[in-house]
Chain A
Amino acid sequence: MPVLLVALWHFAVDLRWVAEGIIPSPAQVLRSWHTWIFGSTTAMLSPYSGTWLDNVAYSTRRVLQGFGLAAMVAIPLGLIIGWSRLAARLIDPTVQLLRPVPITAWLPFAIAVFGIYDASALFLIGLGAFYPIVVNTTHGVRDTNLLLLRAARMLGAGTITVLAKVVFPSALPSIFTGLRLGIGVAWTAVIVAEMIAVKSGLGYVLWDAYYVGRMDICVATMFSVGLLGFLSDRVIVWAGRLVLRWRTLEAHA
């Protein structure tokens, strides 16, 4: 399938199905990408030469920070919303009202409050990742088997123990679903944020390259983001398998 798509793309450019000079060919993109990664930073032939790793590092760091922040807030909050009916009534309506507001709509607000700094980007990334994590955690908590809660309580567990030792592990599969969705949103958010709110990272390169007409770099950026998103998702899936080994046993039973 991917091979077929690349072939289609190659011939579309090669046979002039698309306007000449606008869409670069796969080979061009690959060459530019190569220079972008391995090119010398001192030879000033291309402003992008050799800057790939730095920009990837900027974006990845922002994603990890924003995502980490989101998880740190969203998981405990989801536990509380799912557990306490009072907390649900106090917090959940606000979450549900704000959730449909797209990240892009928060951009002006973020820049107004945090300025053209990292904080703006982190706010947007964190906010984007926050919703799927909090919603899935809440859902996981509410799905906890009543019998397990009763079992824990009759064995003398207090509320804190029940939350930490029963509700949390029981919600973990759902939490991991939230984390996977969250990291996806985080990569979307980092590109949007970097396009406007900061002056580094893949999103900044994408917008900059578009302005100066370097469509080859734009496409290479798209692939880079895709690759990083894919890799980070794999990492979460792998971590999930490691933590939820007991579930694979259940599936085989």
Chain B
Amino acid sequence: MIEIEGVWKEFAKGERRVLALQEISLSVAEREFVAILGPSGCGKSTLLNMVAGFEHPTRGAVRVAGENIVAPSPRRAVVFQEPALFPWLSVMENVVFGPKAQRQPVVDYRRRAVQILEQVGLRGFETSYPAELSGGMRQRVGLARVLIMQPQVLLMDEPFGSLDAQTRMLMQELLLQVWERHHQTVLFITHDIEEALLLTDRVCVMTARPGRIKKSIDVGIPRPRAIEVTTSPEFNALRREVLALIREESEHAAMGSAGA
């Protein structure tokens, strides 16, 4: 579904050119839920932005369903870390922004909007404004407004990164439920090992800048999953494996910067 082939990304930083991503290749199968796990500043968000169509690779190719990506599209919907809701629109208006922008007939999307708001637990808040909602509820709206577009691919950029621990856990459970229902292809960016292992089928561990994919680890934990799996022995074994990779990487980075 998603094919990333030999992608390099360079940024101009004043006179200097900074290499953000180096030779990234990754493919995500249809209905696969994949996490990109990496330290902050490793370019994982840049990678997602290229799949979304917000940015373009310096070298290499990004394809979704066989097509080269030239611009953003509702087929590749994004949930951002900041909910990025339109503050002047109510919850319902935010959710139907996409269908309306696409000039879909009201009768088609109105019922879908009600269903999706129900699924994400926002019934009764249709007329509220984003400013009246908690962080977790705003992120639910952020999820609802992309689910209504029925995207081929769901791109999530640390969507629960700015939530408190308890809310984050609730949102992770909600996402698992939603995913069980729709089985979208998901590319999920995070720096949280547990989150990556709990939610996804495969975790790609990235290196610090320039970002490369160090290793891809299959998460064999059976679905449907609940938050309780995080205490199971197999989950712990996976966590140790990922942790060892990341420790190795941060030691490399520390030595690298000490030598430089």
Contact = CB atoms under 8 A, between A and B. Distances in A.
Interface of A: 145, 147-148, 150-158, 161, 165-166, 169-170, 172, 244, 246-247, 249-250, 252-253
A162 to B, nearest CB: 9
6 contacts: A145-B84, A148-B86, A150-B80, A154-B77, A166-B86, A246-B89
Interface string B20-60: 00000000000000000000000000000000111000000
Contact of A156 (B52, B73, B82, B129): B73
A250 B15 CA distance: 40
Interface stretch (B97-105, B118-126, B184-192, B218-226): B97-105
Interface in B187-202: none
Contacts of A246: 87-89, 129, 131
Contacts of B97: 152, 155, 157, 165
Contacts of B129: 246, 249
Interface residues of B, number: 28
Contact of A150 (B72, B74, B89, B131): B72
A158 B131 contact: no
A147 B80 contact: yes
Contacts of B131: 246, 249-250, 252-253
Contacts of B145: 155
Contacts of A169: 86, 88
Contacts of B84: 145, 147-148, 150-151
A169 B129 CA distance: 15
A150 B78 contact: yes
A156 B80 contact: no
Contacts of A147: 80, 82, 84
A151 B54 CA distance: 10
Given A150-B72, A161-B101, A246-B87, A155 B77 contact: yes
A154 B49 CA distance: 11
A253 B73 CA distance: 32
Contacts of B212: none
B73 A154 contact: yes
Nearest to A158: B101
B141 to A, nearest CB: 11
A154 to B, nearest CB: 4
The 3 closest A-B pairs by CB, nearest first: A155-B98, A157-B101, A156-B74
A24 B102 CA distance: 67
Given A157-B101, A161-B101, A166-B86, A151 B73 contact: no
